[in-house]
Amino acid sequence: MLEIFRGQRTARASNAVAVHGPPLSSMLDIEFAQVTDCGRVRPGNEDYLGHVAPESPEEARTHGWLFAVADGVGGHELGELASQTAIETLLAGFRAAGKGEPLPSLLPRLVQAANGRVFETGISSGSGGTGMATTLVACALRYDRAVVAHVGDSRCYLIRGGEARVLTRDHTVAKEHERLGLLSAEEASEADTRHVLSRSLGGELFVSVEVTDHQVLPGDILLLCSDGLHGAISSKEIARIASNGSSLEVMARGMVSLANEKDGGDNVTVLLIRVQNVERVAMYRGRPYKLR
């Protein structure tokens, strides 16, 4: 099934095509493409993705853009419900946010709200609040900043200068053991616990949200993805595909195809965002001032 994403829609689909942002001259201007696929062996797709796009130059400055990917766990039906609930709660909260609310404080609040909604949905669905959970990675862009919030092992990469750098850290048991020095990086990459989440949305009423803030430059590409992608292909392969000069849609499809070729045992979701132009600003007493 082919589906085109425009404006403020969300969907779970096998493929999606590139969409350009509004022509905002001398402002943050981006294009994006997103693809999600069941993989070669999974009967359904527990991944979910969505975005909020500004509809005017004013909204680009007061709210910005939001992109998000979630990977549900807990069985096919519960996983689908968890990821969809998380994304839709996050996007609704972003649309309703106050004008100019700082992204580093807004995103963790919205992710916390999504966690609460997934937890409550799990209880009302009869799962007793257990067994239904999801990862979530969200990226909000405004002016020349990208703020990333995540829980779980869905990732955000920054692709610049032919290299793909991970901006998130996996919340898995193996990675926690690596950070504690109990495992080497190589041992963690092969450990049985590399796919066991140490943190997720919906397992508890409250969750610790990790947030980072980054400057973006024209030409940068941001990648949000589920572990069906990064568990199958390396950062070097991601950078190679993203640096071949193709359209974002071709890049996204190429990453999914390679992941299915090398593994294919999991759902695969890719959301690519290319920064065309930025508006440089400085903050003074909580107000933005344009830099020349």
Residue 90 lies in a domain: yes
Residue 288 lies in a domain: no
Structural domain containing residue 109 = 2-278
In angstroms, rounded to a whole number, what is the distance separating the alpha carbons of residues 257 and 69?
18
| Contact between residue 61 and residue 102 where contact means Cβ atoms under 8 Å apart | no
0.85 exceeded by pTM: yes
Residue 232 lies in a domain: yes
**Beta-bridge partner residues of 277:** 29
Tally of domains in the chain: 1
Query: What residue has token string 């949000």?
Result: 224
Per-residue pLDDT of the chain (292 residues; tens, 9 = 90+): 223 333 333 334 344 445 555 444 457 899 999 999 999 888 889 999 999 999 998 999 999 999 999 999 876 678 999 999 999 999 999 999 999 999 999 999 999 999 999 999 988 876 555 568 999 999 999 999 999 999 999 999 999 999 999 999 999 887 778 677 777 777 777 777 777 889 999 988 999 999 999 999 999 999 999 999 999 999 999 999 999 888 999 999 999 999 999 998 899 999 999 999 998 776 555 556 565 5
Residue 178 lies in a domain: yes
